[in-house]
Copies of this chain bind each other. A is one copy, B any other.
Amino acid sequence: MLESLYLNLGQHDVLSEEEKALLAGAMSLERYLAAGEHIVTEGTRPIYSTLIIDGFAARYKVLEHGGRQFTSLQVAGDFVDLHAFLLKTMDHGIVALSPCHVAAAEHSKLKTITEQAPHLTRLLWLNTLVDGAIHREWIVAMGRRSKTSHLAHLICELFVRLQVVKKTREMSFHLPLSQAELADVLGLSVVHMNRVIGTLRRMNVVNWTNHMITILDWERLVAIAEFDPTYLSMTREPR
Enumerate chain A interface residues (CB-CB to B < 8 A): 43, 59, 61, 63-64, 67-69, 71-72, 83, 86-89, 91-92, 111, 114-115, 118, 121-122, 125-126, 128-133, 135-140, 142-145, 184, 186-187, 226, 228, 230-231, 233, 235, 237, 239
Task: Check if A87 sits within 8 Å of B126, measured CB to CB.
Answer: yes
Task: Check if B136 sits within 8 Å of A87, measured CB to CB.
Answer: no
Question: What is the oligomeric copy number?
Answer: 2
Q: Contacts A69-B140, A118-B115, A226-B63 known; A91 to B126 CB distance under 8 Å?
A: no
Residue of B nearest to A83 (CB): B129
Q: Which 10 interchain pairs have the tightest Cβ spacing?
A: A143-B187, A135-B135, A67-B144, A91-B231, A71-B136, A142-B142, A132-B132, A69-B143, A86-B126, A69-B144
Task: Check if B88 sits within 8 Å of A136, measured CB to CB.
Answer: no
Residue of B nearest to A237 (CB): B88
Q: A172 to B64: give the CA distance in the assembly, Å.
A: 28
Residues in B whose Cβ lies below 8 Å from that of A135: 132, 135-136, 139
Q: A92 to B230: give the CA distance in the assembly, Å.
A: 10
Partner among B67, B68, B130, B140 whose Cβ is within 8 Å of the Cβ of A87: B130
Q: Contacts A132-B132, A138-B139, A233-B87 known; A121 to B114 CB distance under 8 Å?
A: yes
**A interface SS class:** helix
Q: A118 to B110: give the CA distance in the assembly, Å.
A: 12
User: What 11 new A-B contacts, CB under 8 Å, besides A88-B239, A143-B187?
Assistant: A43-B230, A63-B144, A69-B144, A86-B125, A88-B235, A88-B237, A91-B133, A91-B137, A114-B121, A121-B121, A139-B139
Residues in B whose Cβ lies below 8 Å from that of A68: 144
Looking at the assembled complex, report how far the CB atom of A37 sits from the nearest CB atom of chain B, in whole angstroms.
21
